[in-house]
Amino acid sequence: MNRALRIIFSRYGIVVIILILVLGVIALASQRQQTPLDGGNTANGGSSSEASSEAFTEDDGLATENCEGDDCYPEEELPQEAVDRSVEFAEVWLNPNGYSADGWYDTLVPFLTDDQAELMQGVDPISVPATEITGEPVPEGLKVGIPMDTGTLTLTMTEGSNNSTELDWLVSAIDWEQS
């Protein structure tokens, strides 16, 4: 018994144990040939790559009939009230009244989703990289780009409510691109 344990726990014994484990994992992995698209179920016994390509040709209900190109999937557009709300937020974000961090945060909260408001806690208004809006807002999908003197403020808008606002358009993400 002592001799068997000494062999098993020697360098060579440990190498053999690791080799057996690796080969076992490889054997198990080679038996399981599933793809996320078809779950490994092929009705006709064909290969999983054939089943995967068939899954791509099935109607997903999103595209229109006989549709080709980029126009197949309609892009959601924001109503004018959401664009107006994003501009109102941008005006408050610029902190024209020179509020302290807490005062500035309090003016922003009615425009923000709860998650975004949580991210903005503790942000200093001095960190705002712009001083004025220089152009018209540009809506694209659910985002609104607002040109500023030093870059573009991009706001992602979502319809919802927060602790201080009933159902309205709220800012769910804030992005800045320096020009």
Domain ranges of the chain: 2-72, 80-178
For the chain, give the percent of residues with pLDDT over 90: 56
Write down the architecture of domain 80-178 according to CATH: Roll (3.10)
Token pair in block for residue 97:
């009244």
Is residue 133 within 8 A of residue 146, CB to CB? The reply is yes
* 130 vs 74 pLDDT, higher one: 130
* Average pLDDT estimate for 15-33: 83
Contacts of 136 (CB under 8 A, 6+ apart): 147
Q: What is the sign, positive or negative, of the torsion defined by CA atoms of 143, 147, 149, 151?
A: positive
* Average pLDDT estimate for 110-134: 94
Residue whose tokens read 């990289």? 129
* 85 vs 8 pLDDT, higher one: 85
Read off the pLDDT of residues 48-93 as tens digits, 9 standing for 90 and up: 445 444 444 555 554 445 555 555 555 678 999 999 999 999 999 9
Read off the pLDDT of residues 135-174 as tens digits, 9 standing for 90 and up: 999 999 999 999 999 999 999 999 999 888 888 999 999 9
Residue 37 confidence (pLDDT): 46
Q: What is the sign, positive or negative, of the torsion defined by CA atoms of 88, 93, 96, 100?
A: positive
